[in-house]
Structures are given as C-alpha cells and as structure tokens.
C-alpha cells in the first residue's frame, strides 16, 4: 500500500493525497510555486501582498463570505508565503472536503483585487513591517538573512519594505498573479478523512480552462564571503538579541539530514548542548535555539538568543566553544542516537495531525516534485554517522561563513569575536 497517492491532471496540476483512516478532519491545501526569491527588487513583497489580497473577495464571495464558508462549518482557513512557495490551507471535517477545495480554488481563480482593498491591505502590510522591526528577536533573524545572502532575493524581507510595498500597483498585482498562479505551477495536497477519487475529480473540474505560463525563474546564489560579517543595530531594549547565521546545504543535498541532526544536538530542545550550557549551567538566557532552512541552491543554520548586554561576550565565547568542540571532537554515540530518536519522534507525533501531513506532502511536491515516505526519511537519518556530524560541522562552522546580527543597546566601539 502506497503511503501517498500522486495524480497529474490534464492541465498539468498535480494532486498529492493521503487517506488517514480513523481521522475526523481533512486538511486541504493549494501550493503555488512562487515566493520571495522570484520577485523583482522594485516589487519585492508582492507574493505576500497577493496572498493577503486573495482573502479580500472573489467574483463569487466577499471577504466575510470566504471566512463564513469555512468557519461556518467549524473549520479553519489560513495561508503563508515563503521564499519559494505560497500555500493556502483549510482544515475541516472530512464531509466538507469539497467545500474546502472549492473555496480555495475560488480565491485563486477569481480574486477581485478591489482598489480600495489593495490600499487598505497596503497599510496593513506596512504595519506588519513595523511590527517586525519593533520585535528585536524577529528583526535580528531578518538582518542575519540579509548578511548571509547579500544582494540576493533570499536576503530580503519576505514581506517587503515600505518603499517596495508603496511601489506595487494594481496592474503589478494583476500581472503577477496571472503569470504565476497557473496549473503547472500548483499542487493540491490533502490528508485525513478524504475521498481521494473525488479530490482528483474536483481538482480537475475546478482547474479547467486555467491557462499555463512559464515557470518563474530565480537567480542562483553564489557566495563571495571571505571573512565574518557583523551588523550591530542600536535599539533601546533590556536585552541584546543575537543571531548567528551560517550558510548550509540545499534542500536536496544528501547531507540535509546530517545538518538537521546537528541542529537538534546543538539547540532544538532542552537537552541540547546550547540549552544546557547557556541556560542551565550559566543562566545567561531564558532560551537559546538553533534551526535550519533549506532552499533550492542554499540553506541556513541559525543560532539565536537574547542576553543582558554585560553577558554578551561570555555568551559569544560559550557558543563558539560548543561549535569548536563539535568540529574537533564531534559527538558521542549516545548523543547522536538521542537526536535521531528525537527527530523520529517529532515526525511520528507530527504526522498524527492531518495538517502536518498535508503540509509535508505539499511542500515536498512543490519544491522537489516528489514526496519521500516516512520510512525513506528515517532510513537516511539512521545512516548518519558520528563522522558525518564532525564533517558537516567542520564545513559550515567557519569564520568565512559566519554572519552575526545584533539588535539592542549597542555600545560605541562594540566588537564581537567568535573564535571558530
């Protein structure tokens, strides 16, 4: 029995599905292969802008009617924009599967893009930009991305800047949505209490007569970094927020699971090295964490925390010490096994949720045109060896690959040293 079923429709749209027996809910998503990295600089932020506007009314439904259609049957509707795709998603009881897909496709096929709604949402997005800038922890992660991928779309704020949002016209929005929201650039993903045959039939019917265009293209990133890059942004806050960023492996690189295990070992839970050192042993921070991101041609490994200004140098020393330790000595077998068990457990627990499984299928299909099974993933995770961890740490934890963003009450002449 296949874990997932993939069907390609006549118009080029693909449908990936997974029936989960015993579930009451059905999660339905429509993924579009467009995101921040595909945008021209003048209109960057337009993918996110369009995502907002698709909720503002169609030829068939007002904004309120879109919400009522789903919430009126006890469901939930949402969306998000990433660097490489945009997703619209609904969770309902299985008997409302048809309604969920119809509402999503109505939003995608027939948005009004009313001029008044565009101006209202333009203001809302600019307030969202202000909210991010006012949140030092969040803004530090945006700044470190700018440093890791300088002069490249991956380094821009996904939601744009005030200048770019102000420059986007209704004509820009109409042209962008027409040229990117088409069947060959879309995936329908559904999991849970679903009727697969009906899902495929309805997707075919709802996607009929939609024209296809050329797939969006993007600039491949090539690093020219030769030394550490540090940016300090002065802001009156109680803490200094620090993000360390290091470029890592692309999405389809065989080492992606090595990098994930390395991140778990360093900072993805309370038993991680950084949490135990920074919080439990030295009491420097409430939380410290690491995380990874994957793109077509690059990837990121980010460590973030907030500390008192007078503890900043000690924090930097301790983090650098942990990174050097893994580069030199790697990890113990019990530590690696614990990370593998954590990863396996997180996948198993997450896949009990219909929404998590739907997102897994859709994100993989829109990004790589395939969906790995859980068994395939876990087999690759199990094959990771201690030497693989040391090798990857040695590859990415280097000064010429280090970017540091600092937000907080910076002192004149402040210098940061990470001895890697």
Q: How many CB atoms lie within 10 A of CB 348?
A: 11
The C-alpha atoms of residue 301 and residue 267 are separated, in whole angstroms, by: 11
Q: Give the three-state DSSP class for 340.
A: helix
Nearest CA among 247, 250, 263 for reference residue 384:
263
Choice among 51, 83, 268, 335 that is catalytic: 51
Instruction: Identify the H or E element spanning 317.
Output: helix 312-329
**Residues sharing a CB contact under 8 Å with residue 329, sequence separation 6 or more, in sequence order:** 390
CA distance 23 to 44: 40
What does the longest C-alpha to C-alpha distance in the chain come to? 65
* Concatenated DSSP letters of 156-224: S-TT--HHHHHH--HHHHHHHHHHHSSGGGEEEEEEES--HHHHHHHHHHHTTT----PPP--PPP---
Beta strands in 48-140 (DSSP E): 76-81, 86-93
* DSSP code for 403: E
* 205: enclosing H helix or E strand: helix 196-206
Q: For the chain, first and last CA: distance in Å?
A: 49
Is-contact 75 67, C-beta < 8 A? no
SS3 180: helix
Element (H, E) at 377: helix 374-382
51 catalytic per annotation: yes
Distance between CA atoms of 75 and 392, rounded to whole angstroms? Answer: 43
Q: Which residues are bridge partners to 93 per DSSP?
A: 25
Show which residues are catalytic. Answer: 51
């Amino acid at each position: 029995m296949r874990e997932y079923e993939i069907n390609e429709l006549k118009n080029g749209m693909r449908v990936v599905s997974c029936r989960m027996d015993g579930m009451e809910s059905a999660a339905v998503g429509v993924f579009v292969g467009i995101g921040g990295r595909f945008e021209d600089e003048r209109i960057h932020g337009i993918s996110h802008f369009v995502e907002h506007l698709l909720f503002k009314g169609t030829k068939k439904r007002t904004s309120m009617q879109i919400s009522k259609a789903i919430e009126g049957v006890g469901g939930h509707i949402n969306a998000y924009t990433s660097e490489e795709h945009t997703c619209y998603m609904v969770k309902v009881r299985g008997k409302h599967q048809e309604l969920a897909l119809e509402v999503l496709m109505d939003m995608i096929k027939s948005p009004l893009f009313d001029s008044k709604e565009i101006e209202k949402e333009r203001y809302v997005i600019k307030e969202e930009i202000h909210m991010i800038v006012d949140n030092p922890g969040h803004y530090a992660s945006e700044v470190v991305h700018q440093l890791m991928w300088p002069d490249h779309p991956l380094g821009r704020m996904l939601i744009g800047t005030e200048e770019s949002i102000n420059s986007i016209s209704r004509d820009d929005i109409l042209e962008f949505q027409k040229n990117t929201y088409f069947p060959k650039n879309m995936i329908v993903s559904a999991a849970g209490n679903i009727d697969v045959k009906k899902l495929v039939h309805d997707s075919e019917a709802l996607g009929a007569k939609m024209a296809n265009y050329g797939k969006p293209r993007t600039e491949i990133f090539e690093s020219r970094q030769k030394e550490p890059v540090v940016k300090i942004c002065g802001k009156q806050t109680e803490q200094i927020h620090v993000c360390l960023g290091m470029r890592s492996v692309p999405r389809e690189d065989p080492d992606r699971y090595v990098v994930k295990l390395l991140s778990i070992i360093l900072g993805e839970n309370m038993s991680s090295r950084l949490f135990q050192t920074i919080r439990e042993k030295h009491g420097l921070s409430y939380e410290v964490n690491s995380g990874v991101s994957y793109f077509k041609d690059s990837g990121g490994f980010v460590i973030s925390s907030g500390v008192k200004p007078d503890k900043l140098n000690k924090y930097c020393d301790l983090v650098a010490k942990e990174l050097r330790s893994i580069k030199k000595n790697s990890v113990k077998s019990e530590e690696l096994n614990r990370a593998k068990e954590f990863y396996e457990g997180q996948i198993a627990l997450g896949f009990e949720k219909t929404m998590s499984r739907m997102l897994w299928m859709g994100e993989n299909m829109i990004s790589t045109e395939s969906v790995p099974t859980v068994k395939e993933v876990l087999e690759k995770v199990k094959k990771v060896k201690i030497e693989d961890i040391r090798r990857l740490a040695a590859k990415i934890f280097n000064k010429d690959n280090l970017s540091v963003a600092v937000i907080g009450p910076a002192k004149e002449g402040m210098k940061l040293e990470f001895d890697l």
